[in-house]
Amino acid sequence: MISDPIAVTMGEPAGIGAEICLKAWMRREELSLPAFVLLDDPKRLARLAQTLEWPIEIAEIDSPKDAMSVFSDQLPVLPRPLPGGITPGSPDPANAQTVIAAVEEGVDLIRRGEAAALVTNPIHKRVLYDAGFRHPGHTEFLAELAGEEARPVMMLACPGLRVVPVTVHLALRDAIAALNQVEIESIGRIVSRALTKDFGIKKPQLAVAAVNPHAGEDGTMGREEINIIAPAIDTLKREGVLVLGPAPADTLFHERARSTYDAAICMYHDQALIPLKTIDFHAGINITLGLPFVRTSPDHGTALEIAGTGVADERSFAAAVREAGAIAERRAASRSSERHLDS
């Protein structure tokens, strides 16, 4: 069991971040949640709980350590007042810098040994861009905060499936043009190491998806498999990584196929996310591999259209908190084992 709480950022204040945190806390025992602490405005959380008639007592704390003792009875919050308006569904640019600062502080808490991991609630990128935020999203921002040691890789996970897209937010023609052997090899190494270190899988098996129908059918439907994907797989195999492919994507995600690998490396965004969201739309999560700290997040957006109504589904947030705690616990056990061996 982790000895420090998980830091949870506020995300977009006009979105559903607050209510999924509140709903998950109310089901904390049922969902087997480790202790977490919100970096948020306690007054707005209390108002939301009152409006929705949820029996939640907010505990304003001075130190993350205090969260461990109050979590069973009160929702612990490190007070971070919001300067702008807080209207569900209507983002206020005045709050953007506080949203960004919460992410920075979450990382600092981990570095200072005051938090075990980071869970980030969804942000509204347009509002942050208008405030000077220059990153495509959380992942790139966290990579900058982590420094040169970071090589972030996005993994999406739900029970029964883990997927990693090689290219992410690119138009399909640009994604295919961007594919290269070196990137696939690099991602394969990072995923294989993470499956062992963070997920406790001693001999992880990877599957690599083809990009063309029928895996290119010997080059008659495209040569990316022959020129790029297969050579990358061969390199990984020579390095001792267990990997199969290039596998036709249309036969890679049915139940029997999923039982043959621990993670699938996909060539573009939708190739990875469509099967994951089809299998478990409400409980899929985002895990950032390749960072020196643990970060997860719900695999959904701010859902401004339903914010403040209380209908948002908390399962993805709860799964993100549980997975963050599990990974942090494995990393702590690994460090303890290494110190024992050194002594």
In the CATH scheme, what is the code of domain 160-279?
A: 3.40.718.10
Task: Reduce the secondary structure of 70-89 to three states and give it as a string.
Answer: HCCCCEEEEECCCCCCCECC
**Local structure of residue 292 (DSSP, 8 states):** S
What's the pLDDT at 158? 96
Cα separations (Å) of 327 from 151, 232, 289, 316?
A: 18, 28, 11, 16
pLDDT tens per residue, range 6-37: 999 999 999 999 999 999 999 999 999 999 99
The structure's pTM equals 0.93
In the CATH scheme, what is the code of domain 1-150+283-343?
A: 3.40.718.10
What's the pLDDT at 140? 87
Nearest to 89 by CA among 314, 305, 312: 305
Tokens of residue 162, six digits? 């883990």
Starting at the edge strand that comes first in sequence, how are the strands of the sheet with 263-266 ordered? Answer: 58-60, 75-79, 36-40, 6-9, 117-119, 295-298, 285-289, 153-158, 161-165, 263-266, 205-209, 242-247
What's the pLDDT at 135? 84
Show me where the domains of the chain are located.
Answer: 1-150+283-343, 160-279
Residue 63 contacts residue 69 (beta carbons within 8 Å) = no
pLDDT tens per residue, range 75-116: 999 999 999 989 999 999 999 999 999 999 999 999 999 999
Going through the chain in order, the beta strands assigned E by DSSP cover: 6-9, 36-40, 58-60, 75-79, 117-119, 153-158, 161-165, 205-209, 242-247, 263-266, 285-289, 295-298
β-pairing, 153-158 vs 285-289, is antiparallel
Angle between helices 181-197 and 230-238 (to 10 degrees): 40
Low-confidence ranges of the chain (pLDDT < 70): 336-343
What's the pLDDT at 338? 62
Distance CA 283, CA 300 (A): 9
Is-same-fold flag (1-150+283-343; 160-279)? yes
Q: Which residues of 219-234 are buried (b: 16+ CB within 10 A; e: fewer)?
A: eeebebbeebbbebbe
Residue type, 34: P
**Local structure of residue 161 (DSSP, 8 states):** E
